[in-house]
Amino acid sequence: MPENNIVFEQLSNHHKEIDLFEIINKDTLEAYRIKYIGTKNILKELFGEIKNVPNERKKEFGQAVNALKLAAEEKFQTYKAQFEEDTNDQKEVIDLTLPGDNFPLGARHPISIVKNKIIDIFKKIGFTIAEDREIEDDWHNFTALNMPEDHPARDMQDTFFVQVNPDVVLRTHTSSVQVRIMENQKPPIRILSPGRVYRNETISARAHCFFHQVEGLYIDENVSFADLKQTLDYFSKEMFGDGIKIKMRPSYFPFTEPSAEVDVTCFLCDGKGCNVCKHTGWVEILGCGMVDPAVLENCGIDSKKYSGFAFGMGVERITMLKYQVNDLRLFSENDVRFLKQFSGI
Ligand code: DAH
């Protein structure tokens, strides 16, 4: 009887072994086949043991051995089918300990680099970011900014109209965001609105049908032109270098009064005169002015109590000056040879 027990115990051990045998790829499947299915499989010797089993248990033993053989066969077939389905051998040999593939990192777009730099500079003096829609209505892009219908300044902006509705335009400047903010917030307001703008211009090295602007707006009690000048002086030095001087030239924008354009000393030639500054020693970087009281009133802000300044600059323009890019089209062609030059800046 003890001998019988040993034979039955062997049987159940084989069962366990077969269950636990890990088949993870074609090689382990083959090892399994040799061990349990092939001509010299280890289950065969169990059949020989039947002579040691007493007659009354022979039937039971025979059935158990057959069941074991079937279980071994079934497991083999299941895995065999699975690996045959996997025509892609990759799946069976994934070695998770191997180092991963190297893939090259892209670089930030120069327009984003400069835009982020402008944002960082103004964040330090308390400006927060305000962004809004690129498809605007006439009121926010023009009328509220002192450009009623038929105002000649509208022509300068080569507007794209959306479908046939002349009330819906692709914004021609980010000044539309100042209107939206003033309509919805009470002073003090100190915002910077970066974004894409559109103009129906013939594409050339100097002009494009879309580009990027950053608009600044500061409204509070007693904001003066001196605050504007100080702010822009700070910005220019942070952006272009400590030795930079600014010059404000009188100009005209419908939404500011007085208005000015700002030049900085040419940082390439130190003001001595070169190709970039067309030998004047100065380069223009932005437009600005004191927000026209009529614009404040259009947006529901009491112009007797509050005053403010605004400025707007083209990100492409600043980028071209700073990195001496001479063709605006390069920014939208996505040629990696061009873009790569700005990694690490
Ligand atoms: N919106 C002007 C443009 O697109 C730029 C500008 C000029 C914005 C003066 C301003 C400003 O806020 O004060 O040409």
* Digitized pLDDT (tens) for each residue of the chain, 345 residues in all: 455 678 888 888 988 999 999 998 889 999 999 999 988 888 888 888 888 888 888 888 889 889 999 999 999 999 988 888 765 555 567 788 888 888 877 789 999 999 999 999 999 999 999 999 999 999 999 999 999 888 887 877 789 988 778 889 999 999 999 999 999 999 999 999 999 999 999 998 888 999 999 999 999 999 999 999 999 999 999 999 999 999 999 999 999 999 999 999 998 888 888 888 889 999 999 999 999 999 999 999 999 999 999 999 999 999 998 898 989 999 999 898 999 888 776
Ligand 1: atom nearest CA of 197 is 4
Q: Which residues contact 285 (CB under 8 A, 6 or more apart)?
A: 236, 262, 263, 264, 313, 317, 318, 321
Whole-number Å distance between alpha carbons of 303 and 293: 5
Ligand 1, atom 7, residue with closest C-alpha: 287
Ligand 1: atom nearest CA of 312 is 8
Quote the pLDDT of residue 221: 98
CA of 118 from ligand 1 middle (Å) equals: 16
- For ligand 1, whether the C-beta of 215 sits within 6 Å is yes
Determine contact, residues 169/160, Cβ cutoff 8 Å.
yes
Quote the pLDDT of residue 58: 86
- For ligand 1, whether the C-beta of 253 sits within 6 Å is yes
CA of 253 from ligand 1 middle (Å) equals: 7
Domain 112-342 has CATH 3.30.930.10: yes
CA of 171 from ligand 1 middle (Å) equals: 13
Task: Give the angle subtended at the CA of 252 by the CAs of 246 and 257, to the nearest 5°.
Answer: 85
CA dihedral of 278, 282, 287, 290, whole degrees rounded to 10: -150
Quote the pLDDT of residue 10: 85
Quote the pLDDT of residue 1: 46
3-class SS of residue 330: helix
- For ligand 1, whether the C-beta of 311 sits within 6 Å is yes
State the helix-helix crossing angle for 110-123 and 315-323, rounded to 10 degrees.
100
Ligand 1, atom 4, residue with closest C-alpha: 173
What is the pTM for the complete model shown?
0.71
